[in-house]
Amino acid sequence: MIATWRRRALGAALLAALAAASCANEMSSRRTAPGTSPLPATPWTPPPELAPATPPPGTPPEGTAPSGTLPPGASPADVAAEGAAGSAATAPGIPPDLLATAANWTLTDLLDLALRNAPQTRNAWAQARSAAAALGAEKGAYYPTVVGQVNASRTKASAVGGQFTYLNTSYDPFLQINWLLLDFGGRSNSVESARQALIAADWSHNAAIQDVVLEVQQAYYGYLDARALEAAERVAVEEATASLDAAERRRASGVSTIADVLQAKTSLSQAQLVLQTVQGQIQTIHGSLATAVGLPADTAFEIPLPVAEVPEAEAAVQVGRVIAEAQARRPDLAAARARVEKAAADVRTQASLDRPVLNLSTNGGRIYYNQVYTGQDTYTASVLLTIPIFNGLTYQYNVHKAKADRDAAQAQLDSLNQQVTLDVWTSYYDHQTASQQVKTSRDLLESATQSYEVVAARYKAGVGSILDLLTAQGALDRARALETQARTAWFVTLARLAHATGTLWQPAPGSAPETPEDKTP
């Protein structure tokens, strides 16, 4: 009865060990904390202790979103936030809901597609998942290792000069338990190193998402710019046609010569040539935009031209405020800081390897001889204290290497700090310049329009010359193009500024981003 109970207990222990080993099909959220993003297209949300530091009080810079939204008019970041939310698929392609609206895609739709299809986000997410698994593996050092074995043997032997022979069959199932009790900080620093590597990978995943958003936005506004230029050139062709008609009527009435008609024809041909060039560029940019969202270049889709409303009033923000925002919120900067912390933990891990290690080892089993009801219990228990004395200075040089790696990580962080400051500085003043260019180009377009109307009226009345008319018409065409480019540059520089400050897409938990689609150019 006792032997049966022991066999059952041993079998139950083996089954429990196998069950514990097989239950780890999915990574535990507690063991891999702070975890990863649930999907490649969804940014990682850091826990409160790892969240970006709150920047100094003051007016938030144009194009940034400390609380998950942007100031009025900052549509690129708002639309980017809306487009990134809810992106679930990871395989390239067009979801059925978007395929049905391929003739009317907005920036939100394009960002949704890009975040579903972008290999950059899938790669960064996979690396974060790998780092989470590595963290979970490192935490296994805190638990004992349990090994179950069964040894079966059959022995044939002889005795008394071969007069007697016998067969001996034995079965020896047993469990072995090994447990690291003390290592003076080695495993704790290994776990901390893996944890910081996971944090760095999570921040890098967020940075990859923001990079994809910026790439799509730039291609999107480039396409809108080309479409707006096409519309402007169509108007230029119509005006050149009207000028040719006026010249032909004046020649028919004997007021002007054939030279006026030929000059007007030349101007019309030039306008048509520019229009054809822009139309060819539209197809090229369309292919680039399709590629940016992860689709084949020949994918058929169209984008409506929304009303371009650039905000007139802008907040007066000092560039130092924007730089402080970037220092607090740039995900790549946060990833670099985590890598420095990882390197510091690696130094402590290497330094602990030349310290004593205390291990506990136990095993217990039962040996059965010939028949299952004949057996003997066995067990051992030992405590092993290992004291490193000398290993050819390998430990010491590993510490030197870890310290050099830590210094290299710190230097990379310092270099990135300087680059972030330069990025913000450049983006900030590019946006300031674009804001001034919007105002100036509008004034230029207004004055060029009035000048053309006056000169055209004088020419039709038989007072002005064809040269004055064509000059005013050319100035108006250039003013239209400059005004279109200035509006596009305003939104592009705004997106770059938001990217430089790390807030191109960073919604606050539980907040719904605005959707000012009518404000995008």
With bands split at pLDDT 50, 70 and 90, how would you rate the model's confidence at 507? very low
The lowest-confidence range among 77-81, 104-108, 259-263, 498-502 is 77-81
The pLDDT, as a whole number, for residue 193 is 95
Q: Is the pLDDT of residue 337 over 90?
A: yes
The pLDDT, as a whole number, for residue 331 is 93
Distance CA 114, CA 121 (A): 9
Phi-psi region of 509 (alpha: psi -120 to 50; beta: other; left: phi over 0): beta
The pLDDT, as a whole number, for residue 93 is 65
The lowest-confidence range among 150-154, 246-250, 255-259 is 255-259
What pLDDT, in 10s, does the model give residues 201-239?
Answer: 999 999 999 999 999 999 999 998 898 888 888 988 988
The pLDDT, as a whole number, for residue 71 is 36
The pLDDT, as a whole number, for residue 100 is 67
Question: Residue 12: enclosing H or E segment and its boundaries?
Answer: helix 2-22
Classify residue 54 as exposed, middle or buried by CB count within 10 Å of its CB (0-12, 13-18, 19+).
exposed
Instruction: Find the length of the chain.
Output: 521
What pLDDT, in 10s, does the model give residues 272-284?
Answer: 998 999 999 999 9
What pLDDT, in 10s, does the model give residues 57-102?
Answer: 443 333 333 333 333 333 334 433 333 333 333 335 677 767 766 7
The lowest-confidence range among 201-210, 445-454, 496-505 is 496-505
The pLDDT, as a whole number, for residue 101 is 67
Locus of tokens 């998942």: 129
Q: Is the pLDDT of residue 263 over 70?
A: yes
36 or 79, greater pLDDT? 36
With bands split at pLDDT 50, 70 and 90, how would you rate the model's confidence at 53? low
Distance CA 221, CA 227 (A): 10
Classify residue 260 as exposed, middle or buried by CB count within 10 Å of its CB (0-12, 13-18, 19+).
buried
Tell me the CB-side half-sphere exposure of residue 192, using CA atoms within 13 A: 16
The pLDDT, as a whole number, for residue 88 is 31
402 or 64, greater pLDDT? 402
Quick one: which of 298, 280, 288 has its CA closest to 230? 280
Distance CA 339, CA 131 (A): 12
340 or 20, greater pLDDT? 340
Question: Residue 365: enclosing H or E segment and its boundaries?
Answer: strand 357-369
Mean pLDDT of the chain: 80
| Rg of the Cα atoms in the chain | 36
306 or 336, greater pLDDT? 336
The pLDDT, as a whole number, for residue 371 is 55
With bands split at pLDDT 50, 70 and 90, how would you rate the model's confidence at 309? low
The pLDDT, as a whole number, for residue 72 is 34
Distance CA 83, CA 75 (A): 12
Q: Is the pLDDT of residue 2 over 50?
A: no
The pLDDT, as a whole number, for residue 16 is 53
The lowest-confidence range among 108-117, 163-172, 386-395, 494-503 is 163-172
Q: Is the pLDDT of residue 470 over 80?
A: yes
Q: What domains, with CATH codes, occur in the chain? A: 30-145+185-355+397-519 (1.20.1600.10)
